[in-house]
Amino acid sequence: MSNTIRIGTRDSQLATWQAKQVARELEKLGHDTELIFVKSEGDIDLTTPLTEMGGKGVFTKALDNAQLNNEIDIAVHSFKDLPTENPLPLKVAAIMERADARDSLVAPDGTDFLDDPDYKATIATSSNRRRAQWLHRYPNHEIVNIRGNVNTRLEKVEKNEWDGAIFAAAGLERIDLGHHISEYLDWMVSAAAQGAMAVMIREDDSEMGKIVSQLNHDETALCTTIERDFLHDMEAGCSAPVGAYAYVENGDVRFKAVALTLDGREQYDYQKSVSVGEAGDLGHSAAQALLSEGAIKVIEEMKSGRE
Protein backbone atom coordinates (compact mmCIF):
# COMPACT_ATOMS: atom_id res chain seq x y z
CA MET A 1 0.00 0.00 0.00
CA SER A 2 1.29 3.44 -0.95
CA ASN A 3 1.92 5.93 1.86
CA THR A 4 1.10 8.82 -0.46
CA ILE A 5 -2.03 10.66 0.68
CA ARG A 6 -4.43 11.00 -2.26
CA ILE A 7 -6.19 14.37 -2.02
CA GLY A 8 -9.46 14.67 -3.92
CA THR A 9 -10.47 18.05 -5.31
CA ARG A 10 -12.56 19.71 -7.99
CA ASP A 11 -10.41 21.01 -10.84
CA SER A 12 -11.26 24.72 -10.69
CA GLN A 13 -8.41 27.11 -9.95
CA LEU A 14 -9.79 27.92 -6.50
CA ALA A 15 -10.45 24.28 -5.53
CA THR A 16 -6.96 23.35 -6.72
CA TRP A 17 -5.45 26.18 -4.65
CA GLN A 18 -7.29 24.89 -1.58
CA ALA A 19 -6.15 21.31 -2.13
CA LYS A 20 -2.55 22.43 -2.64
CA GLN A 21 -2.73 24.39 0.62
CA VAL A 22 -3.75 21.21 2.47
CA ALA A 23 -1.04 19.26 0.61
CA ARG A 24 1.62 21.77 1.75
CA GLU A 25 0.52 21.45 5.38
CA LEU A 26 0.58 17.64 5.18
CA GLU A 27 4.02 17.73 3.54
CA LYS A 28 5.27 19.89 6.44
CA LEU A 29 4.25 17.00 8.68
CA GLY A 30 6.37 14.63 6.53
CA HIS A 31 3.71 13.05 4.28
CA ASP A 32 3.80 12.59 0.52
CA THR A 33 0.69 13.80 -1.31
CA GLU A 34 -0.97 13.51 -4.71
CA LEU A 35 -3.87 15.54 -6.09
CA ILE A 36 -6.72 13.60 -7.69
CA PHE A 37 -9.14 15.72 -9.74
CA VAL A 38 -12.84 14.89 -9.65
CA LYS A 39 -15.51 16.60 -11.78
CA SER A 40 -18.82 17.37 -10.08
CA GLU A 41 -22.26 17.84 -11.61
CA GLY A 42 -22.10 21.49 -10.49
CA ASP A 43 -18.93 21.98 -12.54
CA ILE A 44 -20.36 20.36 -15.66
CA ASP A 45 -23.81 22.05 -15.70
CA LEU A 46 -23.15 25.80 -15.58
CA THR A 47 -26.62 27.01 -16.55
CA THR A 48 -29.15 25.43 -14.15
CA PRO A 49 -29.54 27.52 -10.97
CA LEU A 50 -27.98 25.75 -7.97
CA THR A 51 -31.28 25.80 -6.09
CA GLU A 52 -32.83 23.65 -8.85
CA MET A 53 -29.92 21.20 -8.78
CA GLY A 54 -30.24 20.48 -5.06
CA GLY A 55 -28.13 23.29 -3.64
CA LYS A 56 -24.42 23.28 -2.99
CA GLY A 57 -24.42 19.49 -2.44
CA VAL A 58 -23.96 19.08 -6.20
CA PHE A 59 -20.33 20.15 -5.73
CA THR A 60 -19.63 17.57 -3.02
CA LYS A 61 -21.39 14.44 -4.28
CA ALA A 62 -18.69 13.39 -6.76
CA LEU A 63 -15.96 13.75 -4.13
CA ASP A 64 -18.08 11.78 -1.64
CA ASN A 65 -18.39 8.94 -4.16
CA ALA A 66 -14.65 8.98 -4.87
CA GLN A 67 -13.95 8.64 -1.14
CA LEU A 68 -16.48 5.86 -0.63
CA ASN A 69 -14.95 4.00 -3.60
CA ASN A 70 -11.48 4.40 -2.06
CA GLU A 71 -10.22 6.40 -5.07
CA ILE A 72 -9.05 9.17 -2.74
CA ASP A 73 -8.04 9.27 0.94
CA ILE A 74 -9.20 12.77 1.82
CA ALA A 75 -11.31 15.43 0.14
CA VAL A 76 -10.87 19.19 0.44
CA HIS A 77 -14.07 21.26 0.39
CA SER A 78 -15.08 24.85 0.78
CA PHE A 79 -16.77 24.29 4.14
CA LYS A 80 -19.79 26.40 3.17
CA ASP A 81 -20.54 23.89 0.36
CA LEU A 82 -21.02 20.96 2.74
CA PRO A 83 -24.59 20.13 3.74
CA THR A 84 -25.15 20.37 7.52
CA GLU A 85 -26.46 16.80 7.56
CA ASN A 86 -24.31 13.99 6.22
CA PRO A 87 -25.79 10.47 6.22
CA LEU A 88 -22.64 8.97 4.65
CA PRO A 89 -19.81 7.26 6.58
CA LEU A 90 -17.61 10.32 6.03
CA LYS A 91 -16.62 13.03 8.51
CA VAL A 92 -14.81 16.35 8.67
CA ALA A 93 -11.49 15.69 10.41
CA ALA A 94 -10.06 19.21 10.19
CA ILE A 95 -11.21 22.76 9.56
CA MET A 96 -8.40 24.96 8.31
CA GLU A 97 -7.85 28.51 9.56
CA ARG A 98 -10.45 30.77 8.00
CA ALA A 99 -9.57 33.49 5.49
CA ASP A 100 -11.68 36.64 4.96
CA ALA A 101 -15.31 35.62 5.47
CA ARG A 102 -16.84 38.69 3.82
CA ASP A 103 -18.74 39.02 0.57
CA SER A 104 -17.48 41.52 -1.97
CA LEU A 105 -18.77 43.41 -5.00
CA VAL A 106 -17.03 43.29 -8.35
CA ALA A 107 -18.19 46.32 -10.35
CA PRO A 108 -16.09 46.85 -13.51
CA ASP A 109 -17.32 50.44 -14.00
CA GLY A 110 -17.13 51.46 -10.35
CA THR A 111 -19.61 51.72 -7.51
CA ASP A 112 -20.99 55.26 -7.94
CA PHE A 113 -24.36 53.79 -8.91
CA LEU A 114 -24.84 52.65 -5.30
CA ASP A 115 -25.23 56.29 -4.27
CA ASP A 116 -28.13 56.89 -6.67
CA PRO A 117 -31.38 55.74 -5.00
CA ASP A 118 -33.31 56.00 -8.29
CA TYR A 119 -30.90 53.97 -10.40
CA LYS A 120 -32.10 50.43 -11.23
CA ALA A 121 -28.87 48.46 -11.15
CA THR A 122 -28.45 44.86 -12.32
CA ILE A 123 -26.46 42.68 -9.90
CA ALA A 124 -25.45 39.07 -10.58
CA THR A 125 -25.49 36.31 -7.97
CA SER A 126 -26.78 32.73 -7.80
CA SER A 127 -27.06 32.87 -3.99
CA ASN A 128 -30.49 33.40 -2.42
CA ARG A 129 -28.76 34.71 0.72
CA ARG A 130 -26.91 37.41 -1.22
CA ARG A 131 -29.96 38.16 -3.38
CA ALA A 132 -32.27 38.71 -0.39
CA GLN A 133 -29.81 40.87 1.55
CA TRP A 134 -29.02 42.96 -1.53
CA LEU A 135 -32.72 43.53 -2.29
CA HIS A 136 -33.37 44.44 1.34
CA ARG A 137 -30.78 47.22 1.02
CA TYR A 138 -31.44 48.14 -2.64
CA PRO A 139 -35.09 47.19 -3.30
CA ASN A 140 -35.23 48.73 -6.79
CA HIS A 141 -32.26 46.74 -8.14
CA GLU A 142 -32.65 43.66 -10.33
CA ILE A 143 -30.85 40.39 -9.55
CA VAL A 144 -29.73 38.03 -12.32
CA ASN A 145 -28.42 34.49 -11.97
CA ILE A 146 -24.73 33.74 -12.56
CA ARG A 147 -23.01 30.34 -12.45
CA GLY A 148 -19.52 28.98 -12.95
CA ASN A 149 -16.22 29.01 -11.12
CA VAL A 150 -14.61 32.27 -10.01
CA ASN A 151 -12.78 32.84 -13.32
CA THR A 152 -15.85 32.07 -15.43
CA ARG A 153 -18.01 34.43 -13.37
CA LEU A 154 -15.45 37.23 -13.64
CA GLU A 155 -15.49 36.83 -17.44
CA LYS A 156 -19.29 37.00 -17.46
CA VAL A 157 -19.26 40.22 -15.41
CA GLU A 158 -16.84 41.81 -17.89
CA LYS A 159 -18.88 40.73 -20.95
CA ASN A 160 -22.40 41.51 -19.74
CA GLU A 161 -24.13 44.82 -19.19
CA TRP A 162 -24.46 44.17 -15.49
CA ASP A 163 -23.44 46.76 -12.91
CA GLY A 164 -21.76 44.21 -10.68
CA ALA A 165 -21.62 40.72 -9.23
CA ILE A 166 -21.15 39.42 -5.70
CA PHE A 167 -18.23 37.13 -4.83
CA ALA A 168 -16.79 35.65 -1.66
CA ALA A 169 -13.76 37.82 -0.91
CA ALA A 170 -11.65 34.79 0.08
CA GLY A 171 -12.24 33.09 -3.26
CA LEU A 172 -10.84 36.05 -5.18
CA GLU A 173 -7.98 36.76 -2.79
CA ARG A 174 -6.77 33.17 -2.65
CA ILE A 175 -6.08 33.03 -6.39
CA ASP A 176 -4.63 36.56 -6.65
CA LEU A 177 -7.78 38.13 -8.10
CA GLY A 178 -8.44 40.43 -5.17
CA HIS A 179 -7.73 43.46 -7.37
CA HIS A 180 -11.15 42.88 -8.97
CA ILE A 181 -12.88 43.72 -5.67
CA SER A 182 -14.55 47.13 -5.91
CA GLU A 183 -16.04 47.10 -2.41
CA TYR A 184 -16.17 44.79 0.61
CA LEU A 185 -19.78 44.24 1.69
CA ASP A 186 -19.26 44.61 5.44
CA TRP A 187 -23.01 45.01 5.96
CA MET A 188 -23.85 41.63 4.39
CA VAL A 189 -23.92 38.60 6.71
CA SER A 190 -21.88 35.86 5.06
CA ALA A 191 -22.78 32.21 4.54
CA ALA A 192 -22.16 29.79 7.39
CA ALA A 193 -18.49 28.70 7.25
CA GLN A 194 -17.64 31.06 4.37
CA GLY A 195 -13.87 31.44 3.94
CA ALA A 196 -13.08 28.13 5.69
CA MET A 197 -11.87 24.86 4.19
CA ALA A 198 -12.89 21.42 5.49
CA VAL A 199 -10.91 18.20 5.11
CA MET A 200 -13.11 15.11 4.87
CA ILE A 201 -12.05 11.53 5.65
CA ARG A 202 -13.77 8.14 5.79
CA GLU A 203 -15.14 7.50 9.28
CA ASP A 204 -13.37 4.17 9.57
CA ASP A 205 -9.95 5.57 8.58
CA SER A 206 -8.58 6.25 12.07
CA GLU A 207 -4.99 6.54 10.84
CA MET A 208 -5.93 9.31 8.40
CA GLY A 209 -8.01 10.92 11.14
CA LYS A 210 -4.93 11.21 13.37
CA ILE A 211 -2.88 12.75 10.57
CA VAL A 212 -5.51 15.22 9.33
CA SER A 213 -6.65 16.35 12.80
CA GLN A 214 -3.25 18.04 13.21
CA LEU A 215 -4.37 20.59 10.60
CA ASN A 216 -7.43 21.68 12.61
CA HIS A 217 -7.68 25.35 13.64
CA ASP A 218 -9.60 25.39 16.92
CA GLU A 219 -10.94 28.94 16.73
CA THR A 220 -12.20 28.49 13.17
CA ALA A 221 -13.72 25.13 14.13
CA LEU A 222 -15.61 26.72 17.05
CA CYS A 223 -16.97 29.61 14.98
CA THR A 224 -17.97 27.59 11.93
CA THR A 225 -19.66 24.97 14.12
CA ILE A 226 -21.81 27.70 15.72
CA GLU A 227 -22.71 29.02 12.26
CA ARG A 228 -23.58 25.58 10.91
CA ASP A 229 -25.61 24.70 14.03
CA PHE A 230 -27.69 27.79 13.30
CA LEU A 231 -28.11 26.83 9.64
CA HIS A 232 -29.08 23.28 10.57
CA ASP A 233 -31.68 24.33 13.13
CA MET A 234 -33.19 26.81 10.69
CA GLU A 235 -33.69 23.76 8.43
CA ALA A 236 -32.24 26.11 5.90
CA GLY A 237 -29.79 24.14 3.80
CA CYS A 238 -27.29 25.91 1.62
CA SER A 239 -29.84 27.57 -0.66
CA ALA A 240 -31.90 29.50 1.90
CA PRO A 241 -31.60 33.28 2.40
CA VAL A 242 -29.89 32.80 5.75
CA GLY A 243 -26.51 34.17 6.88
CA ALA A 244 -24.42 33.44 9.98
CA TYR A 245 -21.02 34.71 11.10
CA ALA A 246 -19.12 34.17 14.35
CA TYR A 247 -15.68 35.42 15.36
CA VAL A 248 -13.59 35.51 18.52
CA GLU A 249 -12.53 38.83 20.03
CA ASN A 250 -11.02 39.41 23.48
CA GLY A 251 -12.11 36.00 24.74
CA ASP A 252 -15.69 36.39 23.53
CA VAL A 253 -17.51 34.87 20.58
CA ARG A 254 -19.43 37.56 18.70
CA PHE A 255 -22.20 36.12 16.55
CA LYS A 256 -24.63 37.64 14.09
CA ALA A 257 -27.25 35.91 12.00
CA VAL A 258 -29.91 36.94 9.54
CA ALA A 259 -32.88 35.33 7.80
CA LEU A 260 -34.87 37.01 5.03
CA THR A 261 -37.74 36.35 2.70
CA LEU A 262 -36.51 35.81 -0.87
CA ASP A 263 -37.64 39.26 -2.00
CA GLY A 264 -35.67 40.85 0.85
CA ARG A 265 -38.71 42.66 2.22
CA GLU A 266 -38.74 40.94 5.60
CA GLN A 267 -35.52 40.57 7.56
CA TYR A 268 -34.93 38.94 10.95
CA ASP A 269 -31.68 39.79 12.74
CA TYR A 270 -29.85 38.24 15.66
CA GLN A 271 -26.72 39.48 17.41
CA LYS A 272 -25.09 38.26 20.61
CA SER A 273 -21.72 38.12 22.34
CA VAL A 274 -20.82 35.44 24.90
CA SER A 275 -17.60 34.11 26.41
CA VAL A 276 -15.84 31.35 24.48
CA GLY A 277 -16.62 28.89 27.27
CA GLU A 278 -20.35 29.53 27.00
CA ALA A 279 -20.57 29.59 23.20
CA GLY A 280 -21.40 25.93 22.61
CA ASP A 281 -25.16 26.42 22.13
CA LEU A 282 -25.02 29.86 20.53
CA GLY A 283 -26.05 28.70 17.05
CA HIS A 284 -28.95 26.65 18.41
CA SER A 285 -30.29 29.46 20.62
CA ALA A 286 -30.00 31.98 17.77
CA ALA A 287 -32.10 29.76 15.50
CA GLN A 288 -34.75 29.31 18.21
CA ALA A 289 -34.89 33.07 18.76
CA LEU A 290 -35.32 33.94 15.09
CA LEU A 291 -37.85 31.19 14.42
CA SER A 292 -39.95 32.34 17.38
CA GLU A 293 -39.79 35.92 16.08
CA GLY A 294 -41.37 34.87 12.79
CA ALA A 295 -38.44 33.70 10.63
CA ILE A 296 -40.30 30.40 10.20
CA LYS A 297 -41.87 32.28 7.24
CA VAL A 298 -38.52 32.17 5.47
CA ILE A 299 -38.27 28.40 5.80
CA GLU A 300 -41.87 27.84 4.77
CA GLU A 301 -41.29 29.99 1.69
CA MET A 302 -38.28 27.88 0.70
CA LYS A 303 -40.17 24.61 1.28
CA SER A 304 -43.18 25.74 -0.77
CA GLY A 305 -40.80 26.77 -3.57
CA ARG A 306 -39.35 23.25 -3.65
CA GLU A 307 -42.69 21.46 -3.78
pLDDT digits (tens, 9 = 90+) for 196-252: 999 999 999 999 999 999 999 999 999 999 999 999 999 866 578 999 999 999 999
Angle ∠(197,201,205) on CA atoms, nearest 5? 155
- Rounded Cα distance, 104 and 155, in Å: 16
Percent of the chain with pLDDT over 90: 81
What's the pLDDT tens digit per position in 102-143?
A: 999 999 999 999 999 999 999 999 999 999 999 999 999 999
What's the pLDDT tens digit per position in 157-169?
A: 999 999 999 999 9
Q: Whole-prediction pTM value?
A: 0.90
Catalytic residue ranges: 81
Q: Are 290 and 259 in contact (CB under 8 A)?
A: yes
Name the CATH superfamily for 231-306: Porphobilinogen deaminase, C-terminal domain (3.30.160.40)
CATH 3.30.160.40 segments of the chain: 231-306
CATH 3.40.190.10 segments of the chain: 5-96+196-216, 103-184
Q: Are 92 and 208 in contact (CB under 8 A)?
A: no
Q: Domain 5-96+196-216 has what CATH class?
A: alpha beta
CATH number of the domain located at residue range(s) 103-184 in this protein: 3.40.190.10
